[in-house]
Structure 1
């Protein structure tokens, strides 16, 4: 009898967790907005999050891609959405931090118009060129740009994206000029790089790892301050003499400002559970991404620090959308 009672209590405890999550979240479909085109790192993580959230919260979570303006269109939409749990954002460091330092007429404030819920992952970037490129080192690439200003182009996921800022910072540190070719997301930017229509980019591991292994891209340097585990012998841009360039992006779940505390807590707890799921871990490992544990106020404080960091890097070079 004791054994049976113990098993019964354990079973009830297991059943209670999803029941509580389902009770806490309004019984309606949830739109998880992504500010970039399908196929990029943010979109891939968003779909993994949506799958986990659907199971954990007991609601139908659907990813909606609303690309454009470096992710700020989707972010602005969520900032102006009802704070009832029906709309969430898989935010990215570009529209949620870089944009505040770069754009002069941003239609939302990342710190006051959104509710930071849970940071999900941090993603390292590296400098790559097409395999057909004549430039076999960062030094050779920079030398070509110096010899013929405007001859070296780079692709990015949009104006103000991490790719844009990283490549522009490299140009600044090297004292050369690169031509920026912005796209509506990482996937189309990578497609044109692979086709040889642009000369280089600094993009995330999830976007470049496959083409590198297939011999379609050539890595020249880690864009982060520390070497990337997947390529331990590849030096960083800093090690190559180009200063403190730290090209990395992060993603996390946000809601509109004023999201009720019980929903914030439920979504944050769901993120903790999601990161333990095998499918979620596979997605992060495929992109050499690190799971992140900042939640609520700690996540907000991190976003504030990121904005300050980018303001220090970009100085007064703010531009209009």
Structure 2
């Protein structure tokens, strides 16, 4: 029988310990795809592209942003959940419509808790209502009064049926006792274009309208944050206008279900560093996007709790995508 010397045994043991490490490639060892479910040029697109660039530097591999729009901002996340491998190389923005939309379907196509690995909470949006500058409606009170006199005549745009801004407007109509006509688009930019062209009366969406308010082409009637936006100190909040509402629709980053905890940790740390980087803070400031950071554990908890809230809202407002 061959005898194994003490020195040989030590060498064999060291080699055995080293083998698994050599067999496991460093993550990431190739580019990562980040699916953005909104058109290019939107506030979330700008924030996520900045985040991707900064995170790529920390990870040593590029994070490539890919716009995949459709289905009220849920096509991209649904594609990642159903088609991507859970290896950390396919990520997506996780926003509230992804948590809400399944419960608006007769047969839900995904489960927002079980079908994703939730990684980090990031930020939210500055929502508001804006009209064309030459509109005869000078204020929120003018809009409400006109809508009461003319049920269904005023039109408003959002970035899709079942989005946070659409639900907020449904709630506002209930509270104010008015009836407006909803005109959904694929993103806030399209709604702004429609208002400027006189095709829609109001845009009720994230802050794609902000530069046009600053340039004098549009007028903001309300912002939906808890406090007045620093860029628009003269524009009242919904609470100031008598509506006990605050709508910022916080979002984060998620991947397919079943991701390795170590990979999630690497991604969280790189994305957190990018989120708190001065450059990403500058981009968020450009669009008045509030910081809503959640670590992985807290973000998972937020998603679970928010899904229950969204289910209740869908039932209360009797929202359905099935006609």
TM-score by length of 2: 0.86
Q: Is the 8 A contact 1:89 1:254 kept in 2?
A: yes
In the comparison of the two structures, how many residue pairs are matched?
296
State the Cα deviation string for residues 173-231 of structure 1 (Å, max 9, x = none).
111111111111222122212222111122223x1221111011111122234333333
Unaligned runs of 5+ in 2: 1-24
Aligned to 1:169: 171
The 1:308/1:239 distance shift into structure 2, 3 A limit, reads farther
Query: 2:259 aligned with 1:236, yes or no?
Result: no
Q: Give the Å deviation of 1:248.
A: 1.4
User: Which whole-Å CA distance do the structure 2 matches of 1:103 and 1:200 have between them?
Assistant: 28
- Aligned partners of 2:157 and 2:183 also within 8 Å: yes
Q: Does the Cα contact within 8 Å between 1:37 and 1:65 map onto a contact in 2?
A: yes
Aligned to 2:270: 270
> Whose Rg is larger?
2
* Compared CA separation, residues 316 and 126, structure 1 to 2 (3 A): closer
TM normalised by structure 1 equals 0.86
Match of 1:305 in 2: 305
Give secondary structure in 1 for the equivalent of 2:74: helix
Separation of aligned partners in 1, 2:37 and 2:118: 16
Give the deviation of 1:104 after TM superposition. 4.0
- Of 156, 159, 178, 1:157 maps to 159
In 2, Cα distance between equivalents of 1:194 and 1:304:
39
1:33 and 1:166 map into 2 onto residues whose CA distance is 26
* CA apart distance, 1:24: 4.4
Can you list the C-alpha shifts for 1:45-101, whole angstroms capped at 9, x where unaligned? Answer: 221121112111111221111111111111111112210112100222222x33245
Q: How far did 1:103 drift?
A: 4.0
| Shift in Å, 1:165 | 1.4
Counterparts of 2:285 and 2:26, CA distance in 1:
31
Q: Is 1:92 equivalent to 2:95 in the alignment? A: yes
Counterpart-to-counterpart distance in 2, 1:152 and 1:93 = 26
Partner of 1:6: none
Alpha carbon RMSD of aligned pairs, Å? Answer: 1.9
